[in-house]
């Protein structure tokens, strides 16, 4: 018994000695090498592609995806990429559209999934997977129709015994009917590949009053076939045009504009941001004025252009409908009298310069004189400029209250722009008819614009169906009213 007791005491002493000399090791951090060689956890690392936008139904596409291993690396691991539906099937045949190669490892394919096995990488190193490779004589991959944003799902496991696990984030590519960035060349708007572009779309009214569409309504605009949405803004809601003690601006307004822009551009449509409401004096009432004001419009455009210049899907419309001003004021600014008030106006050339000074190269739309009915004597000088026309023969009421001669004929206003349209881009950025039960005028204007090769934007979606210029029968189905039928039919040409 004494011997057993002595042995027990010795065991306790040794155990205490071991605990003192060899304290418990902390758990290994995931993805970091430790004793025995710990590889990155499955599903770690990152995947990227420089391709952001692809033209719907386009061919000769090569998509390069780079997977970068996390700390700890991979040993004989696997990376898989799920090619979205509608794309050419991935292949290991050099002459096939979906021919796929990898910078390391072995490529195999099954239906729409690319598997790269035998991948050994140290942390921070990469494997480059090229889908639609033309290096062996293949034609490049064919994209699907306009499906919007598609995610190329990437999975990874670090060792053969691991489990394929999705990455926290996989790259996405927008498949759309347009391909930015856009630029002008001669009298054409062109896309990133130099293809001529005609933009056809719808204005979403009331954002200048702080009423915004939800995402579903923008989805309806896209379902009609639009490739551009005009978004009117208020200077006084965007920035403070009053005393600091009584600010006019809504701090949530820019964020709401952001949300609408995202809703538009994520569907492959251009967001045409337009200055619609402004003031003519400090604490003045915001609304449509004869011209942009010198006091605040420059700051407005500096902020807006700085905010959106990095989005290739955004374009800028400097001022809605200049009127009752001279051509000199229209171009370079100056004093304007409206009623008993005189204010300093900002000219189109000045606003253009403000936008360009932010570094923005986006398209800039410039509305003409006399409610955008005619071009000014001297046009804005610069790059990527589109001249904007508004064509209303009956701006308030239909006949018989409207007494315009030949009210269903839009050509007299359009004819003012024919000479300009031979040398610079022209687009009808606003038109409509004040009776949604009559589609004659809209059909005529669309036909004339198409003949001239000009894009067009109809007025308007409003979130309701009871306005004179509304285009729909109801907001449950967005079925086109008679005024909307030629619009929806015309938007089919966008593809």
The string of pLDDT tens digits covering residues 451-460 is 999 999 999 9
Q: Please, which pLDDT band fits residue 393 given cuts at 50, 70 and 90?
A: very high
pLDDT, mean of residues 243-264: 96
| pLDDT of the residue at 147 | 84
Q: Please, which pLDDT band fits residue 124 given cuts at 50, 70 and 90?
A: very high
- Is 208's pLDDT higher than 80? yes
| pLDDT of the residue at 15 | 36
pLDDT, mean of residues 107-126: 98
Which is nearest to 233 in space by CA: 258, 215, 214? 258
- Is 257's pLDDT higher than 90? yes
| pLDDT of the residue at 480 | 98
Residue 443, helix vs strand vs coil: helix
Query: Where are the domains positioned within the chain?
Result: 46-176, 183-494
Pairing assessment for the beta strands 200-204 and 228-234 based on DSSP bridges:
parallel
Quote the CA–CA distance of 195 and 192 in Å, as a whole number: 7
Q: Please, which pLDDT band fits residue 43 given cuts at 50, 70 and 90?
A: very high
- Is 3's pLDDT higher than 70? no
What CATH number should be reported for the domain whose range is 46-176?
2.60.40.10
Token readout for 374 is: 């005619």
Token readout for 475 is: 């907001």
Quote the CA–CA distance of 447 and 437 in Å, as a whole number: 19
- Is 321's pLDDT higher than 90? yes
> For 132-236, where are the E strands, in sequence order?
148-151, 153-157, 165-166, 172-176, 183-185, 188-190, 196-197, 200-204, 228-234
Q: Please, which pLDDT band fits residue 37 given cuts at 50, 70 and 90?
A: low
pLDDT, mean of residues 136-140: 97
- Is 449's pLDDT higher than 60? yes
Annotate 309-343 with DSSP letters as a single string: TT-TTEEEE--S---SS-HHHHHH-EEEEETTEEE
Least confident of 21-35, 38-52, 102-116, 462-476: 21-35
DSSP assigned state of 141: B
- Computed over every residue of the chain, the mean pLDDT equals 92
pLDDT, mean of residues 275-296: 97
Cβ atoms of residues 415 and 421 within 8 Å: no
| pLDDT of the residue at 339 | 85
Q: What percent of the chain has pLDDT over 70?
A: 93
pLDDT, mean of residues 100-119: 98
- Is 220's pLDDT higher than 60? yes
| pLDDT of the residue at 389 | 98
Quote the CA–CA distance of 323 and 15 in Å, as a whole number: 94
Quote the CA–CA distance of 259 and 437 in Å, as a whole number: 32
- Is 329's pLDDT higher than 80? yes
- Contacts of residue 66, defined as CB under 8 A and 6 or more positions apart, other chains included, come to 47, 48, 49, 126, 127, 128, 129
Cβ atoms of residues 425 and 456 within 8 Å: no
Say whether pTM exceeds 0.85: yes
Cβ atoms of residues 386 and 364 within 8 Å: yes
pLDDT, mean of residues 43-66: 97
In this structure, which topology does domain 183-494 adopt according to CATH? TIM Barrel (3.20.20)
**Other Cβ atoms closer than 10 A to 3:** 7
Quote the CA–CA distance of 478 and 472 in Å, as a whole number: 5
The string of pLDDT tens digits covering residues 349-371 is 999 999 999 999 999 999 999 99
């Amino acid at each position: 018994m004494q011997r057993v007791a002595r042995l027990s005491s010795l065991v306790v002493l040794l155990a205490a000695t071991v605990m003192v000399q060899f304290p418990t090791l902390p758990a290994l951090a995931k993805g970091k090498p430790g004793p025995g060689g710990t590889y990155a956890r499955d599903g770690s690392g990152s995947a990227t592609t420089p391709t952001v936008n692809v033209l719907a139904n386009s061919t000769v596409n090569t998509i390069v995806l780079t997977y970068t291993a996390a700390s700890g690396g991979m040993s004989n691991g696997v990376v898989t990429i799920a090619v979205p539906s509608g794309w050419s099937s991935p292949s290991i045949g050099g002459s096939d559209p979906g021919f796929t190669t990898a910078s390391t490892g072995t490529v195999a394919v099954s239906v729409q999934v690319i598997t790269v096995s035998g991948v050994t990488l140290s942390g921070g190193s990469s494997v480059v997977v090229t889908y639609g490779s033309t290096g062996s004589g293949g034609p490049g991959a064919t994209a699907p129709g306009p499906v919007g944003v598609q995610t190329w799902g990437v999975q990874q496991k670090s060792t053969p015994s691991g489990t394929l696990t999705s990455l926290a984030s996989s790259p996405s590519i927008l498949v759309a009917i347009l391909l930015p960035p856009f630029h002008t060349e001669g009298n054409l708007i062109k896309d990133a590949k130099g293809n001529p572009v005609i933009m056809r779309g719808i204005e979403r009214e009331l954002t200048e009053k702080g009423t915004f569409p939800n995402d579903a309504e923008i989805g309806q605009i896209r379902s009609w076939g639009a490739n551009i949405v005009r978004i009117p803004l208020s200077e006084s809601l965007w920035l403070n045009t009053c005393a600091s003690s009584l600010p006019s601006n809504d701090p949530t307004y820019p964020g709401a504009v952001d949300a609408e822009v995202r809703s538009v551009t994520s569907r492959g449509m251009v967001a045409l941001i337009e200055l619609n409401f402004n003031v003519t004096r400090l604490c003045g009432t915001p609304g449509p004025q004869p011209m942009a004001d010198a006091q605040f419009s420059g700051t407005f455009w500096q902020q807006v252009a700085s905010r959106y210049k990095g989005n290739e899907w955004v374009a800028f419309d400097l001022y809605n409908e200049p009127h009752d001003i001279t051509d000199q004021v229209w171009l370079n600014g100056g004093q304007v009298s409206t009623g008993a008030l005189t204010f300093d106006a900002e000219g189109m050339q000045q606003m253009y310069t403000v936008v360009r000074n932010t570094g923005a190269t986006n398209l800039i739309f410039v509305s003409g004189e006399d409610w955008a009915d005619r071009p000014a004597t001297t046009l804005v000088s610069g790059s990527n400029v589109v001249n904007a026309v508004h064509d209303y023969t009956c701006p308030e009421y239909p006949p018989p209250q409207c007494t315009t001669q030949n009210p269903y004929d839009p050509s007299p206003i359009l004819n003012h722009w024919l000479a300009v349209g031979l040398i610079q881009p022209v687009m009808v950025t606003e038109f409509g008819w004040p009776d949604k039960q009559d589609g004659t005028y809209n059909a005529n204007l669309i036909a004339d614009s198409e003949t001239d090769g000009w894009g067009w934007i109809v007025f308007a979606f409003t979130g309701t169906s009871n306005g004179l210029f509304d285009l729909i029968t109801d907001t449950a189905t967005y079925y086109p009213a008679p005024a909307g039928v030629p619009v929806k039919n015309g938007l089919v040409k966008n593809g």
